[in-house]
Amino acid sequence: MSEKITAIKGFDQNFQCRGFQYAVGESYTHEGDVIPCKSGFHAIEGYPLEVFQYYPPGKSRFAEVLQSGTIQRHDDDSKTASSEISVLKEISLEELIQRAVKWTFEHTKSENSKHSDASRGAAANSGFCGAATNSGFQGAAANSGFCGAATNSGDYGAAANSGFQGAAANSGFQGAAANSGNYGAAANSGDYGAATNSGNGGIAVNSGSRGVAYSTGLHGAAMAVGFEGRVMGEKGNLLVLTFRNPDGSIKHHWSGIVGEKGIKPNVWYILNSEGEPEEVK
């Protein structure tokens, strides 16, 4: 029986990879050699956020895939190449972040309300007004307690908060911060990072270059105030964008409510040089 791997695959906004068109529910076969980074179908077998190295969150889509047939592994990370692939389902950015947190806790030893600074380390807090902090490469910090906080500063790391009025913050390169608790906050300041909010009255803020902010919670908000930031939200959510000059100063700022004045739900927007929001194609 041939090996089968459930993995994460990244695509552009058109659900293409290297010009090849994919679709959920479809299977594909590659004829010829299978060589990582050169030929075959590629996906990430290990830590989910490694996919950000190849497909930044701000302008990408992601899916759970099943790889089979001939399988070859990359030497430097958990990228795998296969001769056969099936696209099982598309997954949201928030789900991808949650999977990263889960993966980290399954692969490391963690202690409640403790600090971890090891590579791919983890820190968890479930107590009242507690805190979880992680500064390791590809690590994760998760908080589920009331008024708690989760902070991650490692590259490709993740911080997740599910507690009421909690906070999740990530400052690492291509990291992610996710909030699902009511009136909570997710903040990301690292380049190519992502901040997502699904809690009622919550907020997602991204100040890093080419970062993204996404809000799906009732009465929530998504703000991207760095260079070439992107925002997206459900109907009724507030979106905020800035356009910056090369020296970093703010030239334009814009705010709008999804569902009003032509702003569409679940569509990425960026602010152009004229100060007008544009859909990201």
Give the model confidence (pLDDT) of 96-139 as tens digits: 877 877 776 676 554 433 344 445 666 777 766 778 787 767 67
Q: Closest by alpha carbon to 203, among 266, 161, 171?
A: 161
115 and 74 share one domain: no
Report pTM. Answer: 0.72
216 lies in a domain? yes
Task: Classify the C-alpha dihedral 41-212-198-117 as positive or negative.
Answer: positive
Judged by average pLDDT, the poorest of 98-107, 147-156, 222-231 is 98-107
The residue segments making up the domain with residue 60 are: 5-91
Q: How far apart are CA 184 and CA 205, in angstroms?
A: 11
Report yes or no: 59 and 232 within 8 Å, Cβ to Cβ: no
Residue 103 is assigned to a structural domain of this protein:
no
Positions of E strands within 74-139: 79-91, 115-116, 122-125, 131-134
- Taking the C-alpha atoms of residue 222 and residue 205, their distance in angstroms, rounded to an integer, is 6
Residue 111 confidence (pLDDT): 41
**Number of domains comprising the chain:** 2
Compute φ and ψ for 91, nearest 5 degrees: -125, 145
The answer to whether position 105 is within a domain reads no
Q: What is the pLDDT of residues 167-187, one digit of tens each?
A: 888 887 877 888 888 888 988
34-90 pLDDT per residue, tens: 999 999 999 999 888 788 778 876 678 999 999 999 999 988 788 999 999 999 999
**Terminal-to-terminal C-alpha distance of the chain:** 42
